[in-house]
Amino acid sequence: MSRPIFILLILLITAAAAAFRLPDLAERPMHGDEAVNAVKLSETIEGMGYEYDPHEYHGPTLNYLTLIPAWLGGVGSFVELQEAILRVVPVVFGTLLVLLLLPLGDGLGRVAAVFAALFMAVSPAMVFYSRYFIHEMLLVCFTAGAIVCGYRYLKRPGMLWALLAGVCLGLMHATKETFVIALGAMGGAVLVMLCARRQGGQWVNDIKRVRLVHCAMTLLAAAAVSVTFFSSFFSNAKGVVDSVLTYSTYLDRAGQTGVHEHPWHYYLGLLGHYQFADGPVFSELLTLLLALVGLGFVVRGSVGGVNAGLLRFIALYTILMTVVYSLIPYKTPWCLLNFYHGIILLAGVGAAGLLRFKSKISKVALGLLLCVGTWHLAWQSNAANNEYNADSRNPYVYGHTGSDIFDIADRVKEMAKSDGDWRDTPIQIICPDDDYWPLPWYLRGYLVEYTNTVADETKSAPIILIQPSLEEALMRKLFELPPPGQKELYMHLFDENGREIKMELRPEVEIRGFVSKSLWDRHERAKTEEKPAAK
């Protein structure tokens, strides 16, 4: 494949990747984690500043980089934020991940790089989480950038690539604490490769190719980027210290049991075959099998026209990443992106290697298989991001907000606007363990009090959302504690023709609503007055 054709194909595939990731960014309900990140961002936008928290929320890059589209969109407050402004950031980095295959063309092989770009562009996992306002896609992209810069440096040692590698490492550190896994896997892969070349002193020559001054500049660039972000642009020195102390928290979390504990094969199961209830089968088995084929080619050393050292590094790095992430009991599905990126690179190598068979029949059959398989991946991506975007039948939907959230928020807003200035209508949301997310996102701008328990001493708001476990305490407060003549009647908020409708924030997390009779009556009068006007 000629270089111009290769460049053109990568650019076209990158455009296709963007086309898969950009449309209808506001359609999927906000995950609780996305809403939390949005609240943190709003504090920065509204002038309260940003301080790194070593116990939650991960690193600062997502927060600061999202200020760019927020500024371009003229956002000045939490109320003005929109889903598209938030989610466009992971979209950009998920798309850039495909484009980063361009400088790897002479290392992977151009055909392999094109196939890897294609699989990455339409992968259901990659597309789904490229539309998620969380840190993972940024981490994967910065990690890929570090690998690309390291490879280009070793091809032709120079200060520019050394500095860029340092920038990528610094961004990795400033994005998420789990960057240490990727760093360890990179180091482990390099160490194994050096040990394999110890005979005849080849490893000494390899090390000599790396200039000490370049290493120093890489570390300096990494430190500069990391310190800049963690110190909140030199306004919070404690953030730099906390970026190190945080690992005591995350080491403890990695080994804990609980709702996020899953078996070692959890990630591979999601990628290989997933079907829940009557949903469709989701599978990225094509990529996994091609990666095994690619690994076989790398081990045999039978891939021509490539950089054998880069392929061995990617193979070792991917194996180490997969093993480590599989062995950590604490698992969330977006974490699989970190090793799946390497698997896709190997899949590209496998596809290109198979196409080298001399038999025309084999080539045609394989070409048809790859076309059908890629189409199936694209179909799954479309399904995952549209019909099943908040559905448990989607393997990448995890602890996700259900579509009821739109009805919940609309009903609360509709009722609040019946009481004059909606910004002055008190709303109480009572959920144990702060399990009310992402309601703070959907009710931003409203006068909301969030609590964990029913407080008898506080005045009840005209609109109350509460989890069923606390409903008995609320009924006691509303109807038993007030003295005679001072009771305010409450109606079911989620009511349709006199029948209460069950609403859930997430599967099996029900939320119930109550509205004062006085506000209900004002709402009904307002509806009656609107009907003649509409005629």
Q: Is the pTM of this model over 0.85?
A: yes
Pairing of strands 509-516, 503-506: antiparallel
Q: How far apart are CA 164 and CA 170, in angstroms?
A: 10
Q: How far apart are CA 463 and CA 268, in angstroms?
A: 45
> Strand, coil or helix: what is 60?
coil
pLDDT, tens digit, 9 for 90 and up, residues 59-91: 999 999 999 999 999 999 999 999 999 999 999
pLDDT at residue 37 is higher than 80: yes
Are 32 and 401 contacting, i.e. CB atoms less than 8 angstroms apart? yes
Domain ranges across the chain: 3-385, 404-534
Are 351 and 112 contacting, i.e. CB atoms less than 8 angstroms apart? yes
User: In which band, very low, low, confident or very high, does the pLDDT at 210 lie, cut at 50, 70 and 90?
Assistant: confident
Cα end-to-end span (Å), the chain = 68
- Provide the mean pLDDT of the chain: 93
pLDDT, tens digit, 9 for 90 and up, residues 237-259: 999 999 999 988 777 766 666 78
List the one residue out of 96, 47, 53 whose CA is nearest residue 67: 47
Position 502: which residue type?
K
Choose from 336-350, 407-421, 447-461 the range with maximum mean pLDDT.
Answer: 336-350
Write down the pLDDT at residue 533. Answer: 52
Q: How far apart are CA 27 and CA 36, in angstroms?
A: 18
Write down the pLDDT at residue 535. Answer: 45
pLDDT at residue 292 is higher than 80: yes
> Strand, coil or helix: what is 506?
strand
Place of tokens 């549209």: 386
Write down the pLDDT at residue 156. Answer: 92
Name 127's Cβ contacts closer than 8 Å, sequence gap at least 6.
17, 20, 21, 94, 121, 381, 384, 385
pLDDT, tens digit, 9 for 90 and up, residues 141-159: 999 999 999 999 999 999 9
User: Residue 290: how many CB atoms within 10 A of its CB?
Assistant: 26
Name 252's Cβ contacts closer than 8 Å, sequence gap at least 6.
none
pLDDT, tens digit, 9 for 90 and up, residues 44-58: 999 999 999 998 889
Write down the pLDDT at residue 524. Answer: 86
Write down the pLDDT at residue 256. Answer: 62
Q: What is the DSSP letter of 490?
A: E
Question: Percent of the chain, pLDDT > 70?
Answer: 97
Q: Range with the lowest mean pLDDT among 94-108, 236-250, 271-285? A: 236-250
Name 203's Cβ contacts closer than 8 Å, sequence gap at least 6.
194, 195, 197
Per-residue pLDDT averaged across 335-363, rounded? 92
Q: Range with the lowest mean pLDDT among 5-19, 90-104, 348-362? A: 348-362
Write down the pLDDT at residue 257. Answer: 60
Write down the pLDDT at residue 184. Answer: 97
Cα torsion for 217, 222, 228, 230, to the nearest 10°? -150
Pairing of strands 509-516, 463-466: antiparallel
Are 63 and 108 contacting, i.e. CB atoms less than 8 angstroms apart? no
Write down the pLDDT at residue 255. Answer: 61
Pairing of strands 499-500, 503-506: unpaired
Pairing of strands 490-492, 503-506: unpaired
pLDDT at residue 353 is higher than 80: yes
Question: Percent of the chain, pLDDT > 90?
Answer: 80
Q: What is the DSSP letter of 470?
A: G
Phi/psi of residue 274, nearest 5 degrees: -140, 125
Per-residue pLDDT averaged across 380-389, rounded? 96
Are 391 and 397 contacting, i.e. CB atoms less than 8 angstroms apart? yes
List the one residue out of 500, 422, 112 whose CA is nearest residue 297: 112
Position 31: which residue type?
H
Q: Range with the lowest mean pLDDT among 6-20, 305-319, 411-425? A: 411-425
Q: How far apart are CA 495 and CA 9, in angstroms?
A: 55
> Strand, coil or helix: what is 297?
helix
Write out the two tokens for 406: 């739109």
pLDDT at residue 340 is higher than 70: yes
Are 34 and 132 contacting, i.e. CB atoms less than 8 angstroms apart? yes
pLDDT, tens digit, 9 for 90 and up, residues 390-446: 999 999 999 999 999 999 999 999 999 887 777 789 999 999 999 999 999 999 999
Write down the pLDDT at residue 65. Answer: 98
